């Protein structure tokens, strides 16, 4: 038997809590990760007292999980908000330190001044999610919207390169973080918070702390829309994000290939479970137009995403061509949407569609 998230949840969800509910019913498990012989998760409760009462539950969960085949380590962290004096509005913020434990909160919070939060996800890596996010951000800014871009791709933050920003963001008061600005877009990336070349093994609580910090402690200012570049797949960042931020909706990027579509379906399913509405699907690398002869070819198939959107009853937001300039522009820090070509026009249409749809 392979021990995965589902197996772990099944194993511990029936454990009874002091109040009579089960662990599954109370929905306390966060940031669950299974890595080789190790299981890690957070139990998030409302108060320090409730956390203390969970000690026997923690012990029982550990006992059950260590009995699973191949599991040698179980790390459980129980978190509760620290009691702290009320701070004046807009001033409450812990120190600028990635990996702080998150403060448990009642539910998804809006970000002051930010009208819409849009998560951009994909089922699979390499389909162009980051490219689409940077170009869409630029296209919406060109259309006169106030746009922010948060790069939450912990596995490979690529927005600093794609947007051409570098340097560690300043924090003049040691509490709030000043974002960077490029091409009319306010930018913050988890990559800018890490030291160059630093490898980080993200643990659940660190991850949740980092996400919460980037949402709530960055001086985003007034934004019509904040686009969030998620890591590919269906993991803890997606979960943390939907728990911490009042996400307006998610957009899924896919190539037309069947395997990418299959993974995209999983991502859609996850957002639905997390109660984040899926605003629509985008087909990237849809067609290739030969720059010499103008011949159009469909290297990864064509139209699969539109068909999938229709089957799922979701809007199809548009298709974006495969073009060498897209990659070159992304590598040079000047997204192709800044220009006037075919792809830039496709992004302008996409931005227009979202703005007309009330997003941004
Ligand atoms: N439409 C396109 N035409 C040409 N190249 C593209 C296009 N879209 C993306 N690419 C290139 O494909 C590569 C992967 O794109 P990108 O990093 O945006 O994918 P991703 O889905 O964010 O991947 P990951 O999340 O795994 O980092 C990059 O080199 C990018 O420049």
Q: Which of 33-42, 55-64, 75-84, 219-228 has the lowest mean pLDDT?
A: 75-84
The CB-based long-range contact list for 291-297 (8 Å cut-off, 24+ gap) reads: 291/324
In the reported structure, the alpha carbon of residue 149 is separated from the centroid of ligand 1 by a whole-number distance in angstroms of 17
Could you tell me if 205 and 61 lie in one domain? no
What is the per-residue pLDDT across 43-53, written as a single tens digit (0 to 9) for each? Answer: 777 776 787 78
Please state, rounded to an integer, the average pLDDT across all residues of the chain: 84
Could you tell me if 340 and 258 lie in one domain? yes
Q: Which residues does a 6 A CB cutoff place in the pocket of ligand 1?
A: 122, 125-131, 153, 156, 158, 232, 284-285, 320, 322-323, 326-327, 330
Structural domain boundaries enclosing 214: 114-356
Contact 347, 136 (CB under 8 A): yes
CATH, residue 241: 3.40.50.300
Could you tell me if 207 and 60 lie in one domain? no
CATH, residue 32: 3.30.300.130
Could you tell me if 75 and 135 lie in one domain? no
166 labeled binding residue: no
Q: Decide if 260 is inside a domain.
A: yes
Could you tell me if 64 and 164 lie in one domain? no
Could you tell me if 58 and 159 lie in one domain? no
Q: Residue 95: which pLDDT band, with cuts at 50, 70 and 90?
A: very low
Could you tell me if 71 and 130 lie in one domain? no
Pocket test for ligand 1, best of 122, 131, 319 (most atoms within 8 A of CB): 131
Could you tell me if 65 and 132 lie in one domain? no
Count of domains for the chain: 2
Could you tell me if 164 and 56 lie in one domain? no
Could you tell me if 222 and 317 lie in one domain? yes
Atom 26, ligand 1: which residue's CA is nearest? 125
What is the per-residue pLDDT across 250-308, written as a single tens digit (0 to 9) for each? Answer: 999 999 887 678 888 888 988 888 888 999 999 999 887 777 777 777 777 778 899 98
Whether 58 shows a pLDDT value over 80: the answer reads yes
Could you tell me if 185 and 289 lie in one domain? yes
Q: Decide if 107 is inside a domain.
A: no
φ and ψ of 316, to 5 deg? -95, 120
The secondary structure of 334-351 as a DSSP string is: --GGGS-SHHHHHHHHHH
pTM for this predicted structure: 0.73
Q: Decide if 248 is inside a domain.
A: yes
Residue 343 CA: which ligand 1 atom is closest? Answer: 1
What is the per-residue pLDDT across 201-227, written as a single tens digit (0 to 9) for each? Answer: 667 677 778 888 889 899 999 999 999
Q: Classify residue 135 by burial, with Cβ atoms within 10 Å: 0-12, 13-18, 19+.
A: buried
């Amino acid at each position: 038997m392979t021990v995965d998230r589902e197996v772990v949840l099944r194993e511990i969800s029936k454990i009874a809590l002091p109040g009579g509910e089960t662990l599954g019913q109370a929905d306390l498990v966060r940031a669950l990760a299974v890595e080789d012989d190790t299981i890690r998760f957070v139990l998030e409760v409302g108060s320090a007292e409730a956390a203390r009462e969970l000690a026997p539950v923690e012990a029982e969960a550990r006992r059950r999980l260590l009995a699973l085949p191949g599991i040698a380590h179980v790390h459980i962290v129980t978190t509760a908000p620290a009691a702290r004096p009320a701070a004046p509005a807009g001033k409450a913020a812990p120190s600028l330190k990635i990996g702080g434990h998150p403060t448990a909160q009642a539910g998804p919070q809006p970000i002051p001044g930010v009208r819409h939060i849009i998560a951009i996800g994909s089922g699979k890596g390499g389909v162009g999610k980051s490219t689409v996010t940077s170009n869409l951000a630029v296209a919406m800014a060109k259309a006169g919207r106030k746009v922010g871009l948060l790069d939450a791709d912990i596995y490979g933050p690529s927005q600093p390169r794609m947007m051409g920003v570098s340097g560690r963001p300043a924090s003049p008061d040691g509490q709030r973080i000043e974002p960077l600005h490029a091409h009319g877009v306010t930018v913050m990336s988890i990559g800018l918070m890490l030291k160059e070349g630093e490898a980080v093994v993200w643990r659940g609580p660190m991850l949740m702390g980092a996400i919460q910090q980037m949402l709530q402690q960055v001086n985003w200012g007034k934004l019509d829309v904040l686009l969030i570049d998620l890591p590919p797949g269906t993991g803890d960042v997606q979960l943390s994000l939907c728990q911490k931020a009042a996400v307006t909706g998610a957009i899924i990027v896919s190539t037309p290939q069947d395997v990418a579509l299959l993974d995209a379906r999983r991502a859609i399913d996850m957002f639905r479970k997390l109660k984040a509405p899926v605003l629509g699907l985008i087909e990237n690398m849809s067609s290739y137009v030969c720059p010499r002869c103008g011949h159009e070819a469909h290297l990864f198939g064509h139209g699969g995403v539109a068909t999938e959107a229709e089957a799922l009853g979701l809007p199809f937001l548009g298709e974006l061509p495969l073009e060498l300039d897209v990659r070159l522009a992304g590598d040079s820090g000047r997204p192709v949407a800044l220009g006037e070509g075919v792809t830039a026009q496709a992004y302008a249409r996409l931005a227009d569609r979202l703005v007309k749809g009330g997003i941004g």
